[in-house]
């Protein structure tokens, strides 16, 4: 089977490693991939958002199945274009990817179908948003409606910060058109939980729960990043919480999407907060999370490619997503200065024995050598019986990987150890 994966980060590397466990995956192309993923798949120099070239490539290379993982091609309609050209795909169509592509859509969906989430108002007029803020309680959260590279959310501790965020988005157009409309919502408190699930629009199979670490520095300080590390499963996601999430959030969401004529097929990511009133949705993503995937897939016992094909065929009800015992931890090694500005082009040394646990996010091959080529460079995953052991093993591996300018958080998983103790 010739498989084409769209994307080129650590998440795509983890997806490719996992589908390679199935001998059916005889040939894997990745568009564009990166210098590290090149060890596991054939990289093709086509951008993740260049949909016409992807269609052309698939048609001329006998691609049997395409897996679209990043948010922007999904929101732009990559799956629609490929399916129209006769290429079966894993991933939601454009009309379902809007669950991530528009926060206003997502919030209105939750309101209409009674899915628990923070109370909110939406605005397309700056003066009205500013007027609302005059009397709204703080802290308060300001969110750009559209995709904003994970930077469209401001948790404002003061009214001034909230006003600045509104002006930045609506007047300064910091996120372009994505900030032309805003959601302003209630500030929620509690542990955060990510749940990635596979769904064909009827059946939903949650994979292992996980915990992301979005802040750049230790102690959850510093600017927001794409994610500096993850652990799975998330100890706050107890059996009782999981049951509530299934009944109050997961099933109602896929039913709501079907009811709206937007059946969701693919990986639906629930960003949840466990508040004192129960689990609430912070965000939906229409795709696998990064770096959640780098801990969730290593814990998946079932065959991912079979599950993905079942999602496409609408036959997921005949499948289970079985999990392995134990825990996983992933520590992201980044370039000093990320997410603001950083240097790249430094040689990477990775012991051969570690490669199966390394997921490369930003590296390129230059003069035959692997060099850094991004803010997040790679993630190192370890599995063990307990979370504490998995973390110790992951950090041991980090110490054996070298590149100039490397930095990583030293406290991944610390909050998750608290409930154990
Ligand atoms: P997002 O970009 O939607 O993932 O949001 C980024 C982060 O902002 C989340 O991971 C939360 O930590 C925080 N956040 C978003 N919405 C809220 C909220 N209503 N209350 C408190 N924190 C929030
Ligand atoms: N790690 C968060 C995300 O993928 O959006």
- DSSP symbols for 107-119: HHHHHHHT--B--
From 271, 297, 318, the end of a domain falls on 318
**8 Å CB contact between 385 and 327:** yes
At 303, list the tokens: 């065959």
Measure CA 154 to chain center: 19
Q: Which ligand is nearest to the CA of 71?
A: 2
Residue 227 lies in a domain: yes
CA distance 290 to 10: 7
The structure tokens 């907060």 sit at 273
Residue 332 lies in a domain: yes
CATH number where 386 lies: 3.90.600.10
Name the residue of 212, 232, 234, 294 whose CB sits within 8 Å of the most ligand 2 atoms, as the mutation to test its pocket.
212
Number of Cβ within 10 Å of residue 367's Cβ equals 6
Counted domains in the chain: 4
Residue with the smallest CA separation from ligand 2 atom 4 is 289
Non-local (6+) Cβ contacts of 82 within 8 A are 51, 54, 55, 58, 66, 68, 89
pLDDT of residue 78: 98
Number of Cβ within 10 Å of residue 121's Cβ equals 14
- In ligand 2, which atom is closest to the CA atom of 150? 5
From 135, 158, 180, the end of a domain falls on 180
Whether residue 302 sits in one domain with residue 366: no
pLDDT of residue 310: 98
CA distance 302 to 413: 25
Whether residue 314 sits in one domain with residue 340: no
Q: Is the peptide bond before 96 cis (omega within 30 degrees of 0)?
A: no
Q: Which ligand is nearest to the CA of 7?
A: 2
Q: Is the CB of 210 under 6 A from ligand 2?
A: no
Residue 339 lies in a domain: yes
Q: Is the CB of 290 under 6 A from ligand 2?
A: yes
CA distance 186 to 414: 27
Whether residue 404 sits in one domain with residue 338: yes
The structure tokens 């980060």 sit at 9
Q: Is the CB of 307 under 6 A from ligand 1?
A: no
Residue 118 lies in a domain: no
Whether residue 223 sits in one domain with residue 170: no
Residue with the smallest CA separation from ligand 2 atom 3 is 289
The structure tokens 């520095």 sit at 217
Whether residue 26 sits in one domain with residue 56: yes
How far apart, in Å, do the first and last CA atoms of the chain sit? Answer: 48
Q: From ligand 2's centre to the CA of 151, what distance in Å?
A: 11
From 255, 289, 318, the end of a domain falls on 318
Cα distances from 231 to residues 12, 335, 361, in angstroms, run 18, 21, 18
pLDDT of residue 180: 85
Q: From ligand 1's centre to the CA of 193, what distance in Å?
A: 11
Instruction: Enter the pTM of the model.
Output: 0.96
Q: What is the pLDDT along the chain (421 residues), one digit of tens a residue?
A: 999 999 999 999 999 999 999 999 999 999 999 999 999 999 999 999 999 999 999 999 999 999 999 999 999 999 999 999 999 999 999 999 999 999 999 999 999 999 999 999 999 999 999 999 999 999 999 999 998 877 789 999 999 999 999 998 888 888 888 878 999 999 999 999 999 999 999 999 999 999 999 999 999 999 889 899 999 999 999 999 999 999 999 999 999 999 999 999 999 999 999 999 999 999 999 999 999 999 999 999 999 999 999 999 999 999 999 999 999 999 999 999 999 999 999 999 999 999 999 999 999 999 999 999 999 999 999 999 999 999 999 999 999 999 999 999 999 999 999 755 5
Residue 49 lies in a domain: yes
Whether residue 218 sits in one domain with residue 176: no
Residue with the smallest CA separation from ligand 2 atom 5 is 289
Number of Cβ within 10 Å of residue 60's Cβ equals 8
Residue 102 lies in a domain: no
Whether residue 201 sits in one domain with residue 170: no
CA distance 284 to 287: 9
Q: Is the CB of 289 under 6 A from ligand 2?
A: yes
CA distance 76 to 95: 10
Q: Is the CB of 285 under 6 A from ligand 2?
A: yes
pLDDT of residue 418: 77
Q: Which ligand is nearest to the CA of 215?
A: 1
CATH number where 312 lies: 3.30.470.20
Question: Coil, strand or helix: which one is 413?
Answer: coil
Q: Is the CB of 184 under 6 A from ligand 1?
A: no
Q: Is the CB of 227 under 6 A from ligand 2?
A: yes
pLDDT of residue 234: 97
Task: Supply the range of the domain harboring residue 396.
Answer: 327-420
- In ligand 1, which atom is closest to the CA atom of 214? 10
CA distance 321 to 290: 20
Residue with the smallest CA separation from ligand 1 atom 13 is 155
Q: Is the CB of 282 under 6 A from ligand 1?
A: yes
Q: Is the CB of 118 under 6 A from ligand 1?
A: yes
pLDDT of residue 419: 59
Residue 103 lies in a domain: no
Q: Which ligand is nearest to the CA of 185?
A: 1
Residue with the smallest CA separation from ligand 1 atom 7 is 153
Whether residue 286 sits in one domain with residue 391: no
Q: From ligand 1's centre to the CA of 47, what distance in Å?
A: 29
Whether residue 202 sits in one domain with residue 174: no
Whether residue 169 sits in one domain with residue 272: no
At 257, list the tokens: 């999407």
Whether residue 292 sits in one domain with residue 204: yes
Residue with the smallest CA separation from ligand 2 atom 2 is 289
- In ligand 1, which atom is closest to the CA atom of 189? 21
């Amino acid at each position: 089977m010739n498989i084409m994966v769209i994307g080129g980060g650590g998440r795509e590397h983890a997806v490719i490693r996992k589908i390679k466990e199935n001998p059916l995956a005889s040939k894997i192309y990745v568009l564009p991939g990166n210098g590290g993923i090149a060890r596991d798949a054939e990289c093709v120099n086509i951008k993740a958002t260049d949909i016409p070239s992807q269609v052309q490539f698939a048609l001329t290379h006998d691609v049997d199945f395409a897996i679209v993982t990043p948010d922007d091609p999904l929101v732009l309609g990559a799956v629609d274009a490929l399916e129209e050209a006769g290429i079966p795909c894993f991933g939601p169509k454009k009309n379902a990817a809007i669950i991530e592509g528009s926060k206003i859509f997502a919030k209105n969906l939750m309101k209409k179908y009674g899915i628990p989430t923070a109370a909110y108002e939406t605005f397309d007029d700056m003066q009205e948003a500013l007027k609302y803020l005059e009397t709204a309680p703080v802290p308060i959260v300001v969110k750009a409606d559209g995709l904003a590279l994970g930077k469209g959310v401001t948790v404002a501790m003061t009214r001034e910060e909230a006003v600045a965020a509104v002006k930045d988005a609506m007047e300064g157009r910091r996120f372009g058109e994505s900030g032309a409309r805003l959601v302003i919502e209630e500030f929620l408190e509690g542990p955060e939980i990510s749940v990635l699930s596979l769904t064909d629009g009827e059946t939903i199979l949650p994979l292992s729960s996980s915990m992301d670490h979005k802040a750049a520095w230790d102690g959850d300080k510093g600017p927001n990043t794409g994610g500096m590390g993850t652990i799975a499963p998330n100890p706050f996601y107890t059996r009782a919480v999981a049951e509530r999430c299934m009944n109050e959030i997961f099933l109602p969401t896929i039913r709501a999407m079907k009811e709206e004529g937007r059946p969701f097929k693919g990986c639906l990511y629930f960003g949840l907060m466990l508040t004192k009133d129960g689990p609430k949705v912070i965000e939906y993503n229409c795709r696998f999370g990064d770096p959640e995937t780098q801990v969730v897939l290593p814990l998946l016992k079932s065959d991912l490619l079979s599950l993905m094909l079942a999602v496409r065929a609408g036959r997921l009800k005949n499948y289970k997503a079985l999990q392995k015992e134990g825990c996983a931890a992933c520590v992201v090694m980044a370039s000093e200065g990320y997410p603001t500005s950083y240097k790249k082009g430094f040689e990477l040394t990775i012991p051969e024995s570690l490669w199966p646990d390394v997921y490369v996010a930003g590296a390129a091959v230059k003069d035959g050598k692997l060099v850094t080529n991004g803010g997040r460079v790679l993630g190192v995953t370890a599995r063990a019986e307990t979370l504490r052991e998995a973390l110790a093993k992951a950090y041991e591996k980090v110490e054996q990987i070298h590149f100039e300018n490397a930095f990583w958080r030293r406290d991944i998983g610390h909050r998750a150890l608290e409930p154990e103790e």
